[in-house]
Every structure is written in structure tokens, then in C-alpha cells.
Structure 1
Amino acid sequence: MSDLLLEVKDLRVSFKTYAGLVQAVRGVNFTLKKGETLAIVGESGSGKSVTANALMRLIPQPPGQYDGGEILLNGVNILDKTEDEMTGIRGKDIAMIFQDPMTALNPTIRVGNQIVEAIRIHDKKISREAAEKRAIELLDEVGIPMPEKRFKQYPHEFSGGMRQRVVIAIALAAEPKLLIADEPTTALDVTIQAQIIELMKEIQKKNENSIIFITHDLGVVANIADKVAVMYAGQIVEYGDVNEIFYNPKHPYTWGLLGSMPDLESNDQDELYTIPGAPPNLISPPKGDAFAARNRYAMAIDYVKEPPMYKVKENHYAKTWLLHPDSPKVEVPAVIQKRINRFLEAEGGATND
């Protein structure tokens, strides 16, 4: 029996706007095994959240549209499913943890009733009493103290971190095998972020869920991910095991992301690394490598021909002409390598073990 849970093949998503067709996701490919965590990272506008919503079939149509590809969940292409069929899949097979818990929760309904509703949608035979008991158990599982009391309270009576725990409880209500977390810690302070990350790791260990974690925070990636997909301009430009991405990055965009990480050890003499320029307009994506205009190592071919996805190792791929056998040998810039080394030392290594 295969341990492959999700396979995304050549996924393409666009949006019709007054200015033209925005090609938000342009041929995305990745796989996810059972019990595995994939982090999708990149700047705002890189296509991370559109990819996440596409996996849930939450792209509004119109203005959005699926232009091609497959999303195979347990071998079945969910892009072929009707909306009624997707209603049964969402929550039960795939669940989503959204970025802002205050907008994910209904402010007029007690949190316990919101969890009960999520349970009973996918289990028509369960009694109200049994669903309430399970909801209280879920509140306890996600670390909310006095769950019986909290069951009867409204979202505004919870702190931001506790509201996010409620959202996680709702996501777990139907025991899905795949959790998609779209920047679930962005609105929280650093201490609470760490608690939520630890909670998700505990949940995964207990329930053997697979997780797709959408984030721009590479500290989160180092702590939770097994695999990393680096997105830029609607494409995955580097993909591999978390240790490969941190210790052996190959794409200049990945270098830029790693070099831009906050570093408490920096001093006045250290160069602050930034990625020059801005992402391209995806109404008319540039010819060749989309990152060429911001890449200080770009070659003539980068402006005329899109690079293939080169295999670095068995579990590591990168989409850059710098990996062509005839290209000049370019190493990670010293200023970036120094910052990466300090980051890895502070994090205790890029591993979620």
C-alpha cells in the first residue's frame, strides 16, 4: 500500500481582472507522504496561499479558474469532483487552519457550538450530547484550560493564541488526514507562535496527519518541516528535504530568503542582505527565468529561456540555469552563508526531530 497521500501535478490557477489575466500559479508540482510536513515558503504574492486554497477547491470561480493540472488525494483527482462532493471532502479529508482566527470564527456563536457543528456536518449519526463531549475533548487536546467552561464562551472572550487553538480544534473535528495551515502564527506574538508550532507537532505525532504549512518565516520551517517548497512568481523554484534546503541551497532566490532572515547576532559591521527589486507582474510573466531581473548572477539565457528543474540529489531539485554543467560555478555568497550558519546554530539545526 502506497504511503503517498497527495500528489500535485502541473497545477495552474489564474484570475480574471480588469487589467488582464493574472497567472497566479504556473505549473506547480509536489508530493506529500502520510505523516509528512511540507512547508511552502516565499514572498507575498509568490502563490503560496493561492496554492493552498486551490488544494481545498476554495478558488472563487469567477474570477478564479483552474487552467490545468491534477490534485490527486489518495490517487483521486479532486478537480474532477462536484461542489457537493467537495463539501464532503473538506473537513473530513482535508482541513484548513486560516491565518486570522478572528475571521475564521463566527463572533456570534459560542465556540463549543462551532466545534459541534463541524463534528455533526461529517457525522450525521452522532447525537448532540456525544458531539458536545467530543468538542470538549478537542478543546482539551489543543491545550485550552477549563474546556467545559470555555465551551460556552464566545470568540471575543479568548486571547489570540487561544482563538487559534479553537480554529485548530475545528480543523481536527472530522479527523482529516491532511491539514493545510496558511500562516497560522503570523498574527501571534513570538512566544505564542512557538506554542502553536509545538501543538501542531504534537497533534501530528498523535494523529499521523500530513501537514502543508504556508509561511514566510524560515524559523518556523526549520522547526516543523520535513520538506520545503520555495515559491516564486507562481512556480516552485527549489524543492527538497529541509536539511538540504538550509545546508545546501542552490537557487539564488533561496539564498536571498535565507540571507534576509532576522539575526540577533548581527552587528554594525555586518552587511544587511536584501533581495533587490520586486516580483514580476504575473499578468504578463517575463520570458525566461522569472527571477532573472532580481538575480545578480543572471546570465543571458535567463532572459530568453525558462530553466528546467535540475536534480541536485535524490530529494533536492532547483530551477536555475546555474546548475547547468556549462554555467559558471557560483557559491552561496559569504554574507549569506555567515547568516545561515548563525541561524542554524541558533535553531539547533534545520530539523523537526
Structure 2
Amino acid sequence: MTEKIVSVKNLQVSFDTFSGKVHAVRGVSFDLLRGETLAIVGESGSGKSVTCRSIIRLLSKNASIDEGTIFYEDEEMLLKTPKELRKIRGKEISIIFQDPMTSLNPTMQIGKQISRPMIHHLHLSKNEAKRRAIDLLDLVGIPNSEERYKNYPHQFSGGQRQRIVIAIALACNPRVLIADEPTTALDVTIQAQIIELMKEIQKKTGMSIIFITHDLGVVAKVADRVAVMYGGKIVEFGKTEEIYYLPQHPYTWGLLQSIPSLEETEEDLYAIPGSPPDLIHPPKGDAFYLRNPYALEVDLHFEPPLYQVSPTHYAATWLLDKRAPKIAVPASIQRRYDIYHQRHKEGYDE
């Protein structure tokens, strides 16, 4: 059995706002295994980033972790003092933010921004840290790294700035990397390069990655397992192949239908109707009820449990209850089912 490096159980996070208490994360549980990439997928406001930032308690002042446990290497993160957390952040667990321009200091040379965490956490001399920073710039694909060490963030393109942010995150050889929508602001060509870069670095270092995104199309290229979040909860969890080709939750169906393909016209593009739930007043039943064309009466009154589809695949939908009526899944989802079964049939025949 693969060893866990991070374990989150029944995490509940809320924010005090002028409008009331926002229940942003509502009972989330998952494990991150050594050397794997776990993708957390969902719309804006689903609780993805809050869940992951809770691991290193990098939350705003109006946030509170109301319940749950977070273990990193068998150590309870919620019991750590601020001083103990500072020793872990950037060294053991690093984070890449979505917008590199808000992550980089515009008044400081990029080389010094990469060197600083190594001097602080690894106690390297300035010369040692500089040499390693130049090596990291090479690693992430910045040409003429020795000369560009002295450049400022505005002297780089958007894709290069994101590479520099990755270099900073990797400076202290972290064991866990949280990538918070690291490719969203980039064009598709640069996006593909950054994803390939992260995969190569993971292969070399063996680190574990939590990849946060709203784009299921990106996930297929990077993740081993996928957690789908909606309304502050995980509604489906499984291996990437299971989520892509055997999705069980209507919300996952909607996300998959929303991925554009070359065969579709503009009229064919699908959008999930409605809006995410108001988490100041969380729904009593299934949070996806009002947007779910396959909703049952029970969804209005009771929250569905996580049903086990396979040893590695779970989904929180009443449609999996043995008492639920059989429904016809969307045609595009049925095609995915057919592809999955055909692939496995051919595999078994061999």
C-alpha cells in the first residue's frame, strides 16, 4: 500500500463576512500519497483553494478552521505554532499561486527571490544559494540563466514569470507542492509546457503534487487521482481514468460536457445552468439540487452519502442508491462509458 504524506479528515472552514458566516469547506476528507499528483477540480467558490491553503494554514484573518484534522508526515498541522509553520512553509510544503505578478516582488531581482528561501531554510551561503538559483532557472527552462539572474520580473514574459515562481517553490526541495491554478492565466501552448515541466520535475524529485484547477481538460494530462468539489464538499473521487470515463455524479457530467472539442460547434457547447449555492445558508440536502436535471425528491431534503463505485472510486449522489430510478445518462457521457468498457474488454482479451 502506498504511503500517505498528507491526510485531511472532516475539514470544515468558514469565513466571517459582513453578510454572515460563509461555510466555505464542509467536511472534506482526502489523502495525498507519496509521489502522486492529486487534482482538485471544481468551479470558482467550490472550496478548492481554501481546502489546500488550510494544509499550511495560509488563510485570511477572517477565516477559521472549525473542525477536522490535517496530518503531514504524521504531524498534526492544526496544532503547530506560527513559528513551527514557518519552518514547514516553503521548505517542506510549497505553493504556486495563479498569478505570478502578485507572487513576485517587482522591485527585487528574480535571482534574489529564488535565493532567499534557500538562505533562510537551508542556511546556504549567498554564493551557494546563487549557484543553486541559477541551476533552478536552467531546470525550469529560463535561457541565459546566469545573465537573467539579475533581471526583474517585468523583463520576463508571462510564461517565464510562472516558471520563475515554480523555481522559487522548488528552491528548498519540498516534499509537497500545492499548485493553485498555475496555468489558468497562460495561453494553451505555454500551459502545456508548464504542465510538462511539472511532470518532469516530479519524476526527478519524487515530490507529491496537489493540482488545483477548474479545467478537467488539464487534469487528464497531469493527475493520478481526481477529487471533484462542489459547494464546499467532495462530490466524486477516483482515479483519473474513472473520473473521465466512468463519471457518476451529474456535476462531473456537466464539467466533462463543458470541455470543448474539435467536433463541436459553438451551439453544441454546454454550460451548467444556474449558480453555485449560497454557502452563508448551505442547503439542507444535495447542494447541486437546483442545477441538477436528474435531481430526485430526496435531494431536496437529505444530503447524499459517498457511495463506493469501485475500491478507488466514490460519488455522492442519490442516483447510486439501489432504490433510485434508472436514468439515461447524457449521450456524450455514455460514449465515455463505451470507450472505457471497450478499452478494458480489449485489455482482458489480450
Q: Alignment partner of 1:136: what SS?
A: helix
Match in the other structure for 1:31: 31
Contact 1:309 1:317 in 2 (8 A): yes
Letter in 2 for 1:69: G
Aligned-residue CA RMSD in angstroms?
A: 1.6
Give 1:48's aligned residue.
48
Alignment partner of 1:228 out of 226, 229, 239: 226
1:120 partnered with 2:119 = yes
The alpha carbon displacement at 1:136 in A equals: 0.5
Measured after TM superposition, the shift of residue 265 of structure 1 is 1.3
Render the CA deviation track for 1:7-28: whole Å, top value 9, x for unaligned: 1100110000111100000010
Deviations 1:217-276 (A, max 9, x none): 1121000000000000000000000000001000000000001111221137x6432211
Q: Confirm whether residue 301 of structure 1 aligns to residue 301 of structure 2.
A: no
Q: Which amino acid aligns with 1:39?
A: A
8 Å CA contact retained: 2:246, 2:336: no
Residue deviations 1:183-219, cap 9 Å, x none? 0001111100000000000000000010000001112
- TM-aligned CA deviation for residue 323 of structure 1: 0.5
Q: 1:319 aligns with which of 316, 319, 343?
A: 316
SS at match of 1:264: coil
Map of 1:94 onto structure 2: 93
The sequence identity of aligned pairs, in percent, is 61
Q: How many residues align structurally?
A: 339
Q: Does 1:280 align with 2:277?
A: yes
Paired amino acid for 1:37: T
Structure 1 match to 2:77:
78
Q: What SS does the corresponding residue of 2:160 show, helix, strand or coil?
A: helix
Amino acid in the other structure paired with 1:118 = P
- Residues 1:162 and 1:340: Cα distance change in structure 2 (over 3 Å): farther
Residue aligned with 1:22, SS = strand
SS at structure 2 position matched to 1:188 = coil
**Alignment correspondent of 2:342:** none
Change (3 A) 1:239 1:295: same
Q: Equivalent residue for 1:217?
A: 215
Q: Which moved more, 1:156-165 or 1:323-332?
A: 323-332
Shift of residue 339, structure 1, vs aligned partner: 8.2
Alpha-carbon distance between aligned partners in 2 of 1:77 and 1:255, rounded to the nearest angstrom: 36
C-alpha displacement at 1:114, in angstroms? 0.5
Match of 2:238 in 1: 240
What's the counterpart of residue 349 of structure 1?
A: none
Matches within 5 A, 1:158-197: 158-197=156-195
What is the match of residue 144 of structure 2?
146
Report the residue type matching 2:86 in the other structure: T
Return the offset for 1:58: 0.6
TM-score, normalised via structure 1 length: 0.93
Task: Give the secondary-structure state (helix, strand or coil) at the position aligned to 1:317.
Answer: strand
CA shift for structure 1 position 50: 1.0
Q: 1:60 & 1:102 partners in 2: Cα distance?
A: 20
Give 1:340 deviation, angstroms. 9.0
SS at match of 1:176: coil
Query: How far apart are the structure 1 equivalents of 2:313 and 2:136?
Result: 37
Contact 2:137/2:167 (CA < 8 Å) preserved in 1?
yes
Tell me by how many angstroms 1:337 deviates: 4.1
Determine if contact 2:246/2:337 at 8 Å carries over to the other structure. no
State how far apart, in whole Å, the 2-side matches of 1:148 and 1:110 are. 12
Provide the secondary structure at the position in 2 that maps to 1:239. strand
1:259 and 1:339 in contact (8 A); partners too: no
The match for 2:204 among 194, 206, 215 is: 206
How many angstroms apart in 1 are the aligned matches of 2:152 and 2:69?
40
Q: What is the rounded CA distance, in whole Å, between the counterparts of 2:233 and 2:155 in structure 1?
A: 41
What is the distance in 2 between the residues matched to 1:139 and 1:303? 53
The runs of 5 or more residues in structure 1 that have no matched partner are 343-353
Residue 65 of structure 1 aligns to a residue whose secondary structure is: strand
Equivalent in the alignment of 1:109: 108
Instruction: Please give the residue correspondences for 1:10-25 in structure 2 after superposition, counting only pairs within 5 Å.
Output: 10-25=10-25
